[in-house]
Chain A
Amino acid sequence: DTGVSQDPRHKITKRGQNVTFRCDPISEHNRLYWYRQTLGQGPEFLTYFQNEAQLEKSRLLSDRFSAERPKGSFSTLEIQRTEQGDSAMYLCASSSVRDRTYEQYFGPGTRLTVT
């Protein structure tokens, strides 16, 4: 499968624990995005990277959230001291700026449940 992949697909954690998610974008896509989707809503932008540089963070992204893309390939999203309000689907998407298309391709998401 050459699409965007995410790991794990599901994560159940207790409030206060830290969690980390991984996203592997489509090969050679230099832009990578994180979105959060709650039930009955559209995805909400969290942050994005061009290569290894994090270019924008949404104000939705509190200090407990951090994202990295150390080598411009895969990315991780860490949530520290999880809260019940963090329960959501975390989606990753990637796109290529080189071919001047704007299409973003989404991964299957990581569903986080905080108990």
Chain B
Amino acid sequence: GENVEQHPSTLSVQEGDSAVIKCTYSDSASNYFPWYKQELGKRPQLIIDIRSNVGEKKDQRIAVTLNKTAKHFSLHITETQPEDSAVYFCAASRGGGSNYKLTFGKGTLLTVNP
């Protein structure tokens, strides 16, 4: 089955700096890669996703890049703000087939210091 590794497990940055979180996956058939943000005690919320037919996607201060050959994808947050502080999870799935289940990484606790 799919295995998703996520690094780092914790990340502390100063407000205004950039943050990068990296994930690798094992299943070459995976083609959908979402990122979720989870604040303490709250539900995971989808912040951005990418499909395997594109290499990069951007939404304001958030961008995701995908390298299918190397089987890794990354989340980039620019101009970080204290409200970006949360746990971020990457995930992978064979979206579009008979099974859309998500396999998650273990999460990255991002702390943005004012």
Show the binding face of A for B, using Cβ within 8 Å. Answer: 4, 31, 33, 35, 40-45, 48, 55-56, 91, 95, 97, 100, 102-109
Q: Are B44 and A48 in contact (CB under 8 A)?
A: no
Q: Are B46 and A102 in contact (CB under 8 A)?
A: no
A40 to B38, CA, bound (A): 12
**Number of contacts between A and B (CB, 8 Å)?**
62
- Determine the chain A residues whose CB is within 8 A of the CB of B100 once the complex forms: 31, 33, 48, 95, 97, 102, 104
Known A-B contacts A91-B44, A107-B43; the reply to A44 vs B99 at CB < 8 A is no
Known A-B contacts A102-B32, A102-B95; the reply to A44 vs B43 at CB < 8 A is no
Q: Are B104 and A48 in contact (CB under 8 A)?
A: no
A15 to B58, CA, bound (A): 47
Known A-B contacts A31-B100, A56-B99, A95-B100; the reply to A103 vs B42 at CB < 8 A is no
- Determine the chain A residues whose CB is within 8 A of the CB of B36 once the complex forms: 106
A12 to B89, CA, bound (A): 27
Q: Are A106 and B106 in contact (CB under 8 A)?
A: no
Known A-B contacts A56-B99, A103-B49, A106-B44; the reply to A44 vs B104 at CB < 8 A is yes
List CB contacts (< 8 Å) of B16-51 with chain A. Answer: 32, 34, 36, 42-46, 49, 51
